[in-house]
Chains A and B, each alone.
Chain A
Amino acid sequence: MKPFPNLSISVRTKFIFFFIILFLIMISFSLFVVYNNNQTIQQYTTIQERFFLLNDVSQKSAQTYEAMETFLIRQLPTDLDQYQASRKELNTAKSRLETNFQNELNFIETKNYQNIIDSFIEESDSAVYSLLEGDIEAYSASQKEAFMLIGFIQDQTLTLLNEDLSMFQTYYNAINKRNDYVQLTLVFMTIAALSFGLIITYLFSQNITRPIYRLTHAAREVARGKLDGPTLPESNDEIGFLSKTFNKMRRDLEHNVRQLKEKSEQEKLLKEMELKSLQSQINPHFLFNTLNTISKYALIHGSEQIYKLINSISKLLRYNLGSMDKPVTLADEISVVQEYFYIQKTRFQDRVDFVVNVSDECLSLKLPILTLQPLVENAFIHGIEPYEQKGVIEIEGYAREDNVVLKIRDNGIGMDPETNRMLLDKSTSTSRSTGHSTGLGVKNVFRRLELFYQSKERISIESEIGRGTTIELVFPKNFTLEVD
Chain B
Amino acid sequence: MKSRKHFYNLSHRTLVPQGALVPSLIIVLFISVILTFYFFKETIHIETPMNGKGVASEGDKHFVLIIQELENPYLQELYAGAKAAAGEKDVTIEFWGTAQTNVDDHIKLIEMAIASKVDGILTQGLTHEFEPVINKAVESGIPVIYVDSDIENNDKRTYVGTDNYQAGYEMGVTVLEETSGKTKVGILNGNLINSNLEERVQGFLDAIGTEDRMQVVAIESSNLSKIQGAEKTYRMLKSHPDISIMFGTSALDSFGIVEGIKKANHASEVRVYAFDVLEETIDLLKTGEIHSALKQEPYQMGYTGVNLLLDTIQGKEIEDNIYTPISILTKEDVENETVS
Contacts and interface: CB of A to CB of B under 8 A. Distances in A.
Contacts of A256: none
B39 A181 contact: yes
A349 B53 CA distance: 134
A181 B40 CA distance: 7
Contact of A188 (B15, B35, B48): B35
Interface residues on A, range: 35 or more
**Chief secondary structure at chain B's binding surface:** helix
B340 interface: no
B111 A148 contact: yes
Given A115-B117, A118-B117, A152-B112, A36 B43 contact: yes
B156 interface: no
B50 A103 contact: yes
Contacts of A202: 18, 21-22, 25
B133 to A, nearest CB: 11
Contacts of B29: 192, 195-196, 199
A65 to B, nearest CB: 14
Contact of B25 (A36, A185, A198, A209): A198
Interface string B43-67: 1001111111111101000100000
A104 B8 contact: no
Contact of A167 (B19, B25, B49): B49
Contact of A116 (B25, B94, B115): B115
B39 A167 contact: no
A18 B47 CA distance: 37
Contacts of B94: 108, 112
Contacts of A155: 112
Interface string A197-209: 0110011001001
A202 to B, nearest CB: 6
B127 interface: no
A467 interface: no
B128 to A, nearest CB: 21
B42 interface: yes
Nearest to B116: A112
A455 interface: no
Contacts of A170: 49
Interface stretch (A171-179, A230-238, A316-324, A329-337): A171-179
B36 A43 contact: no
Nearest to A39: B48
A160 interface: no
Contacts of B16: none
Nearest to A109: B94
B326 to A, nearest CB: 34
B39 A149 contact: no
Given A184-B39, A185-B36, A202-B21, A108 B54 contact: no
Interface in A184-226: 184-185, 188-189, 191-192, 195-196, 198-199, 202-203, 206, 209-210, 213, 216-217, 220
Contact of B54 (A43, A103, A189, A198): A103
Contacts of B114: 119
A155 B52 CA distance: 23
Interface string B80-101: 0000000000001010000000
Interface in B1-33: 4, 8, 11-12, 15, 18-19, 21-22, 25-26, 28-29, 32-33
A71 to B, nearest CB: 22
A206 B18 CA distance: 10
A380 interface: no
Contacts of A196: 29
Contacts of A458: none
B8 A217 contact: yes
B53 A185 contact: no
A185 B51 contact: no
A15 interface: no
B312 to A, nearest CB: 20
B32 A103 contact: no
Given A102-B55, A174-B49, A188 B36 contact: yes
A185 B55 contact: no
A170 B50 CA distance: 9
B115 A149 contact: yes
A185 B36 CA distance: 5
A116 B36 contact: no
B39 A119 contact: no
Nearest to B46: A178
B58 to A, nearest CB: 6
Contacts of A178: 42-43, 46
Contacts of B36: 185, 188-189, 192
Interface string B113-124: 011111000000
B118 to A, nearest CB: 8
A103 B18 CA distance: 59
Contacts of B39: 181-182, 184-185, 188
A37 to B, nearest CB: 12
A50 interface: yes
Contacts of B47: 174
Contacts of B56: 103-104, 107
A115 B35 contact: no
A437 interface: no
A132 to B, nearest CB: 23
A209 B51 CA distance: 57
Given A43-B51, A149-B115, A184-B39, A199 B25 contact: yes
A174 B49 CA distance: 9
Nearest to B35: A188
Contacts of A167: 49-50
A107 B48 contact: no
Contacts of A1: 19, 22
B259 to A, nearest CB: 35
A174 B46 contact: yes
A100 interface: yes
B112 A174 contact: no
Interface string A258-295: 00000000000000000000000000000000000000
B32 A195 contact: yes
Interface of B: 4, 8, 11-12, 15, 18-19, 21-22, 25-26, 28-29, 32-33, 35-36, 39-40, 42-43, 46-56, 58, 62, 92, 94, 111-112, 114-118
28 contacts: A1-B22, A32-B40, A46-B51, A99-B53, A102-B55, A103-B49, A103-B56, A104-B52, A105-B52, A108-B94, A111-B58, A112-B116, A112-B118, A115-B117, A116-B115, A177-B46, A178-B42, A182-B43, A185-B40, A185-B43, A188-B35, A195-B26, A195-B28, A195-B29, A196-B29, A199-B22, A202-B22, A220-B8
Given A103-B51, A103-B52, A202-B22, 18 more contacts: A36-B43, A43-B50, A98-B55, A108-B62, A111-B58, A112-B112, A119-B116, A171-B50, A174-B46, A174-B49, A181-B43, A181-B46, A185-B40, A188-B39, A195-B25, A195-B32, A209-B11, A213-B12
What 8 pairs across the A-B complex have the smallest Cβ distances? Answer: A103-B52, A104-B56, A112-B116, A192-B32, A115-B117, A185-B39, A191-B32, A195-B29
